[in-house]
Amino acid sequence: MNKTMCTYAVALVASMALIGLSGCSKKSVQSGGDSQSTQGTAKGGGAGGYPDTGVQSGGGGLRGLDKNPSEERVGSGTMLAKVDPSSNAGRQLDEIRAEQAASAAAGLRDVFFAYDSWTISEEGRQALSRDAEWIKSNPNVSLKVEGHCDERGTSAYNLVLGEKRAKAARNYLVELGVGANRLSVVSYGKERPTCSEHAESCYQQNRRGHIVVKSGK
Amino acid sequence: MRQAKLISVWVGGALLLAGAVGILESGASDVFLEATRPDFQKISLGIAGIQNGGGPDWLGGRIEEVLKKDVKRSLVFDLVDLPSLGIATSDIGNGTGNGSKAVFKQVAEKGVSVLVWGKAALKEAQKDADVNMEGFVYDSGSDEVVGGKRYAGSPSVVRLMAHRFVDELVFRYTGEPGIARTKIAYVAQQGAARELFVMDYDGYDARQLTADGFLNLMPQWSPDRRFIVFTSYRDRHTQNIDMIELATGKRWTLISLGGLNITPALSPDGNFLAFASSHEGNSELYRLDTRTKAIQRLTVNPSGDLSPSWSPNGRDLVFVSDRGGGPQLFLMGSDGTNVRRLTFEGDYNAAPAWSPRGNWIAYVCRTQKEYKLCVISPDGQKRMQLTTGPGVDDSPSWSPDGRHLVFSSTADGKSHIYMIDADGKDIERLTFQGTHNSAPSWSPAS
């Protein structure tokens, strides 16, 4: 199985809801320790494991006005499954706090960007140079480069912009000699701001590449 | 031989014609089209109150309030105030006696087309409290009580009864299913996390859909209203595109390619999922065949391509690309062919949403450093700015009848969800709770 095939099989494996596929590495299977259902035991989904998303004639249709109307029983329209808000939030918070503590202890610095830009400034280079020193002297640590944006612009385009910022920072760290395999990249767009005021003083704090020491895996 | 050639030409012509008609009208019926024309004459409608058939006094008033708002939002009816027209309705009774006839006569004389009244009761004696609602409709054109509805259900579905009744009215007079029973999926801040929620189209009855404790973004409905597809960061470090079944909460990962996996959109027939992914370098558009699970790449470009939105006939996609510098809207066939740029005005145009009738594409346009809503016709000939003032407007999504848009805006400070008429009139705020509500997606009609 070649590399491209494998990449696509990764998608397939995930969509097959954890039915193992031999041939690719085990890393392709999504996290299994989650209490919420990833078990796609869907009917009619065939090998794909999830149900048809096609148009179906809805059961909640209108019946028309009637001169002698018979009684219609009105049920809750949504039929939404109940979620337990407490299940994962606590675990996520704990892990985020651990990452923040580890990153703060390492003294890693953020790199800041201009509006609509992903170019690394001279100041940004200096910050990343110091970060690279620490990373190189701590060879067993895995890191995540987060790309963030200010609140202006659309949510979707800011995710693309955030990725450009994260990759620019990652690429500079690699240029400085950090192994690319130690740095994962993720964009949070404008979805995880550090401040929320509608002012440039806040915007500039949110336009950043943020380097995080990964906890656990 | 000659005949065969003729036939193939004719078939080609028919297909071409079908395509053009589909884009302009999306196969709508005459009645449907008429009600969407800007000069469409709204049908005057008066509500003669919901009488107390036994139970608390607030019940009738609450139902009447929902009815009135739904009637206004339908944009099919013009809600008239009967007392200000000098029409007294206290003798309406059950619609059959002389008192009723006198009311009908006044209604007809004052030019009111439709009169609605009803009765509601709450029986608490039983183990499970039960609400009964009756609604009736007099049509002055035909001078008769054309019919009514009788609903029963728990007190928690009182609003739904009113929604259902107004949808019946809209259906009766336009042949459309109405929007009063539609839902809006959206993202709301929950502590440090952003989770998916679903609420009624009027902002009531919000229900939480996910509880991952981190980030879920960009919900979009399946055409059958059973599923929501969205971008999920379940483990914080990677982005996948997931699908959740509303009734069961069951969840599937559809796309987990690595990199960005954002802006999912199911085709109108549900057979394809268009999305943006950066797993091959920069953000490109792909489509997943939901039956064969094959993934096809649609764009090949060193710039960012994202935010696909399907034309109602499923043949075309509008999307965002920054291949010219800033983000602009582009069109292409849903197989990735025939790419052409749609927007040329301004240096930032993004988040497109193709209207259910096909005649407009709503999007976010940057104007005087603010991010506002615009609409443009798919041929690029007509363009309108719908919102003005400060604040970032984002994520426009059409009502299934094409008469409204829902969107998020920071116009009041925090990001909240608003509804606006498709012509830019009558902005209504829908969310008031919480610190952040965004990414609204309007459900299809049922």
Give the chain B residue whose CA is nearest to the CA of A161.
B304
Q: How many domains does chain B have?
A: 2
Give the chain A residue whose CA is nearest to the CA of B146.
A67
Instruction: Tell me if A89 and B193 make a contact (CB, 8 A cut-off).
Output: yes
Question: Are B199 and B122 within one domain?
Answer: no
Instruction: Tell me if B147 and A40 make a contact (CB, 8 A cut-off).
Output: no
Instruction: Tell me if A83 and B246 make a contact (CB, 8 A cut-off).
Output: no
Q: Is B343 a domain residue?
A: yes
Q: Is B295 a domain residue?
A: yes
Question: Are B256 and B282 within one domain?
Answer: yes
Q: Which chain A residues are closer than 8 Å to B205 by Cβ?
A: 78
Question: Are B352 and B428 within one domain?
Answer: yes
Q: Which 209-228 residues of chain B touch chain A by CB within 8 A?
A: 209-215, 217-218, 222-227
The domain of B55 spans: 43-174
Tell me, what's the pLDDT at A167? 97
Closest partner CB to B394 (pick from A60, A116, A154): A154
Q: Is B161 a domain residue?
A: yes
Specify which residues B376 forms β-bridges with.
B361, B383
Question: Are B151 and B283 within one domain?
Answer: no
For residue range B222-248, what is the model confidence (pLDDT) as tens digits?
A: 999 999 999 999 888 889 999 999 998
Q: Quick one: which of B299, B300, B306, B301 has its CA closest to B327?
A: B306
Tokens coding B55: 């139970």
- Inter-chain contacts counted by CB atoms under 8 A, chains A and B: 291
| CATH code for the domain in which residue B274 is found | 2.120.10.30
Confidence of residue A93 (pLDDT cuts 50, 70, 90): confident
Mutate to test the interface with A, among B130, B163, B260, B348 (most CBs of A within 10 A): B260
Question: Are B345 and B254 within one domain?
Answer: yes
Return the minimum-mean-pLDDT range out of A82-86, A88-92, B263-267, B387-391: A82-86
pLDDT at A34 over 60: no
DSSP string, B128-174: S-EEEEEEEEEETTTTEEEEEEEEEE-GGGHHHHHHHHHHHHHHHHH
Q: Is B262 a domain residue?
A: yes
Tell me, what's the pLDDT at A89? 77
Classified as helix, coil or strand, B373 is: strand
Q: Quick one: which of B107, B122, B99, B108 has its CA closest to B50?
A: B122
Shortest alpha-carbon distance between residue A41 and chain B (Å): 9
Tell me, what's the pLDDT at B29? 34
Q: Which of B139, B154, B174 is the endpoint of a domain?
A: B174
Instruction: Tell me if B217 and A92 make a contact (CB, 8 A cut-off).
Output: no
Mutate to test the interface with A, among B256, B289, B347 (most CBs of A within 10 A): B256
CA dist., res. B75 & res. B404, Å (int): 9
Question: Are B152 and B236 within one domain?
Answer: no
Cβ(B197)–Cβ(B210) below 8 Å = no
Tell me, what's the pLDDT at A215? 74
Question: Are B119 and B230 within one domain?
Answer: no
Q: Which 151-180 residues of chain A touch chain B by CB within 8 A?
A: 151-157, 159-160, 163-164
* Digitized pLDDT (tens) for each residue of chain B, 446 residues in all: 333 333 333 333 333 333 333 333 333 333 334 445 556 789 999 999 999 998 888 999 999 999 999 999 999 999 999 999 999 988 888 888 888 999 999 999 999 999 999 999 998 766 677 899 999 999 999 999 999 999 999 998 999 999 999 999 999 999 999 999 999 999 999 988 999 999 999 999 999 999 999 999 999 999 999 999 999 998 888 899 999 999 989 999 999 999 999 999 999 999 999 999 999 999 999 999 999 999 999 999 999 999 999 999 999 999 999 998 899 999 999 999 999 999 999 999 999 999 999 999 999 999 989 999 999 999 999 999 999 999 999 999 999 999 999 999 999 999 999 999 999 999 999 999 999 999 999 999 98
Question: Are B241 and B363 within one domain?
Answer: yes
Confidence of residue A79 (pLDDT cuts 50, 70, 90): low
SS (H, E, C) chain A: CCHHHHHHHHHHHHHCCCCCCCCCCHHHCCCCCCCCCCCCCCCCCHHHCCCCCCCCCCCCCCCCCECCCCEEECCCCCCCCCCCCHHHHHHHHHHHHHHHHHHHHHCCCCEECCCCCCCCCHHHHHHHHHHHHHHHHCCCCCEEEEEECCCCCCHHHHHHHHHHHHHHHHHHHHHCCCCHHHEEEEEEECCCCCCCCCCHHHHHHHCEEEEEECCCC
Q: Which of B153, B174, B195 is the endpoint of a domain?
A: B174
Question: Are B109 and B206 within one domain?
Answer: no
Question: Are B410 and B309 within one domain?
Answer: yes
Q: Which of B128, B156, B174 is the endpoint of a domain?
A: B174
Shortest alpha-carbon distance between residue B387 and chain A (Å): 15
Q: Is B9 a domain residue?
A: no
Give the chain A residue whose CA is nearest to the CA of B205.
A78
For residue range B260-307, what is the model confidence (pLDDT) as tens digits?
A: 999 999 999 999 999 999 999 999 999 999 999 999 999 999 999 999
C-beta atoms surrounding B82 within 10 Å: 20
Q: Is B24 a domain residue?
A: no
Tell me, what's the pLDDT at A5? 44
Q: Is B340 a domain residue?
A: yes
Tell me, what's the pLDDT at B94? 82
Average pLDDT over residues A30-57: 42
Q: Quick one: which of A16, A43, A41 has its CA closest to A30?
A: A16
Q: Is B26 or A214 the better-scoring residue by pLDDT?
A: A214
Enter the ipTM. 0.88
Tell me, what's the pLDDT at B403? 96
Q: Is B303 on the interface with A (CB under 8 A)?
A: no
Question: Are B248 and B396 within one domain?
Answer: yes
Q: Angle at Cα B322 formed by Cα B319 and Cα B324, nearest 5°?
A: 115
Question: Are B158 and B209 within one domain?
Answer: no
Q: Which domains does chain A have, with CATH numbers?
A: 100-213 (3.30.1330.60)
Q: Is B11 a domain residue?
A: no
Q: Is B164 or A19 the better-scoring residue by pLDDT?
A: B164
pLDDT at A21 over 70: no
